[in-house]
Amino acid sequence: MTRRLGIFKGVLWFLFGMGAALIGVRLLRGLGVVTALSDVTPWGLWKGLNVFAGIAIGAGGFVLAAIAHVFHGEKYHPVARCAVLIALCAYSGAAISLFYEIGMPWKIWGPIVFWNPHSPLFEVAWCVMLYLNVLLIEFAPTVLELTHFHGLYRLALKLQLPAVILGIMISTLHQSTLGTLFLIMPERLNALWYTPSLPELFFVSAIACGLAAVIFVTLLVDWLYLRPHRIEMLAGLARYLVMVLSFYLIFRLGDMCRHGKLGLIGRGNLASWMFFGEILASCLIPILLFAASRWRRQPWVLWIGSSLCILGIVFNRLNASGIAMIWATDSHYFPAWTEFAVSFGLISAMVLAFLWMHEHEPVRSGLFSEVQNLRRLQIFQLPRPGQPWAGDLTFGPRRTYSLLFVLAAILGLALTPWHPLVRSTSVQRARGKNVLLLGYPTGTVHFPHADHIKRLGQKACATCHHLHRPGDTGTPCSSCHRDMYLPTKIFHHSHHIKVLGGNSSCEQCHPAGLPASARSVRPCSFCHRTDMMTSNTVVTKFDSIDAPGYRKAAHTLCIACHRKEAKNPKWKKPDLFRCATCHRTPVPHGIEVLRSRARPRTTPAPPM
């Protein structure tokens, strides 16, 4: 194992570990915990990067299969097998990604049984499913060669050529259908990306992206396994790439010209700059780099050109499937870090699967025979004989990778909020003379304080003010119920220790002989007899640690009383308990309202 391969795989295992842990969290706790998606923006980074871009990258499989086996490009046989392997990994990644990113993963089998032939997604689902099977058939001899099933192996060899042809057909269908998807929502797409020719554009750009991906992966694999670069073959592919990209560029600009959208490029806004960057990276620079036959035989030119082309087309898919939509719908979406971690984790897993299959594939198998003779790597490394090995902590590659995986998984699980993000909304103190305004400007609550005093009598303060700070007689609700929706801590442990005299004071609250816990502790009223109003009839339950959220506290307090009083014939107000009695949006005349300076913050819910 080379050093660079070890480091590369180590990084991949780390990313995979974090992604796997977060996918687990997503499956257990739902999309809301790990994504920033909403009903307005239901498609985010996962769809753009792992499905749309992943399938475009996997297009190399059918392109190279066509070049090598249909158009008899014999010298491309070695990369054709590599391309099928790339396609297999990319499509599997897209399928796995689809599984965890749809809202109800347990219904992913739906399109197989319930047919809706009018839906583009139906066609995509079926084509991707069929093509994945075709890829498996194309790749089956490679695996079956290792086994003892000789009959199956010969059958798979016979099926290989039909599978290649079927694969080209199905790929043509679904690569373009991914573009068709956006034709049904023109109002959601930015004008720079929307065109009736989207299916054709998607198909052509997928061919380019697939070719570039094959060049890039071949370079990467040769570099990782310390093999000489196969420049002649790659230069030939780069030549095809120039042709496809030129066609794509002319097609796209011509299409924009036809629809009179060329002027949009010069607008100078963010969209036009992104369009320009996309064209520059995906078409212009690779075309310029690969145009001269001497240039495209330089390894660094191949590296830069192919990676820029992939990035550009991936950017195109991201734009079309997400960023352009966000602008059109004017919603706010930026992927959460967990979304990035899951995306890169899945990509890492697929790259690892690719490398593993690359290391384990046999030398010859059917159509994809006479490939490079891979140096077999030593996979299972046992310690030297005589050395104790059970439970020892020597760091072989397997131990290192599994350690990195586990550490990343721990990090991912520890950093992910286990509960959906909750808005923490601090409570504003009630203001006004005889009408209290609460919660302005989201909605105002009318509370005629003076009127309540008049009706209930001066001695009835305790009906609402059930707990006071020492020395206080009318502590406002908001000093304990500090958050609108979340419970807030009201007990200050350190302060009590300090005031009561350090370590010797524990037994004043925690009875001796019992474990010191919140359940066994003496109630607050044990000491604060005078601060707690015992005559209160509404607040019967008192939790000495958490004060409930303001909304819950107020509703419990007010509605209970209003329900009772609504039945009282004395007031003749049967609707007293209805929402509109207190919740009135227009601010009454003559009442000064102070704007809240505190903005709603997004914080995770407090544990336990």
Partner 1 sequence: MDAWIAFARGPLLKIALLTMLLGLIRQGLLQVWEISWAFHRAGDQVVPWKLAIRRNLEWLLPWRYLRRKERITYNFISFLFHVGIISVPVFLAGHVAIWRESFGIGWWTLPPALADWLTVMTVSAAAALLLMRLGHQASRRLSQPQDWLLPILCAFPCVTGFFVAHPFLNPINAQVMYLFHLLSAELLLMIVPFSKLVHIVLFWVSQPSTELGWRFPPGSGERVRATLGKGEEGV
Binding site for partner 1 (CB under 8 A): 380-386, 389-391, 393, 398-399, 402-403, 405-406, 409-410, 413-414, 492-494, 497, 502-504, 506, 513-520, 607-608
Classified as helix, coil or strand, 282 is helix
Name the residue nearer to partner 1 (CB basis): 413 or 532.
413
Q: Give the contacts of 47 (CB within 8 A, at least 6 positions apart).
A: 101, 321, 322
> To which H or E segment does residue 242 belong?
helix 231-258
**Which of 166, 157, 161 minimizes the C-alpha distance to 365?**
157
Minimum distance between the CB of residue 385 and partner 1, rounded to whole angstroms?
Answer: 2
Classified as helix, coil or strand, 555 is helix
Minimum distance between the CB of residue 500 and partner 1, rounded to whole angstroms?
Answer: 11
Name the residue nearer to partner 1 (CB basis): 65 or 409.
409
Minimum distance between the CB of residue 393 and partner 1, rounded to whole angstroms?
Answer: 7
Name the residue nearer to partner 1 (CB basis): 196 or 383.
383
Instruction: Please give the C-alpha separations between residue 170 and each of 117, 140, 163, 313, in angstroms, as whole numbers.
Output: 16, 18, 10, 21
Minimum distance between the CB of residue 398 and partner 1, rounded to whole angstroms?
Answer: 7
Minimum distance between the CB of residue 219 and partner 1, rounded to whole angstroms?
Answer: 31
Minimum distance between the CB of residue 233 and partner 1, rounded to whole angstroms?
Answer: 35
CA distance 300 to 284: 17
Name the residue nearer to partner 1 (CB basis): 194 or 405.
405
Name the residue nearer to partner 1 (CB basis): 381 or 473.
381
Minimum distance between the CB of residue 244 and partner 1, rounded to whole angstroms?
Answer: 46
Minimum distance between the CB of residue 96 and partner 1, rounded to whole angstroms?
Answer: 21
Name the residue nearer to partner 1 (CB basis): 387 or 534.
387
Residue 447, φ and ψ in degrees, nearest 5: -140, 95
> To which H or E segment does residue 111 belong?
helix 110-113
Q: Is the peptide bond before 511 cis (omega within 30 degrees of 0)?
A: no
DSSP state letter for 283: I
DSSP state letter for 484: S
Minimum distance between the CB of residue 212 and partner 1, rounded to whole angstroms?
Answer: 37
CA distance 278 to 577: 60
- Terminal-to-terminal C-alpha distance of the chain: 47
91 in Cβ contact with 235 (< 8 Å): no
User: What ranges in 259-362 are assigned the alpha helix state H?
Assistant: 270-279, 285-291, 299-318, 324-329, 337-360
Name the residue nearer to partner 1 (CB basis): 433 or 498.
498
The 10 Å Cβ neighbour count of residue 535 is: 10
Minimum distance between the CB of residue 46 and partner 1, rounded to whole angstroms?
Answer: 24
Query: Could you tell me how far CA 484 lies from the centroid of its own chain?
Result: 29
Name the residue nearer to partner 1 (CB basis): 519 or 570.
519
CA distance 148 to 392: 36
Name the residue nearer to partner 1 (CB basis): 516 or 594.
516
Q: Give the contacts of 480 (CB within 8 A, at least 6 positions apart).
A: 467, 488, 490, 547
Name the residue nearer to partner 1 (CB basis): 398 or 455.
398
The one-letter amino acid at 459: K
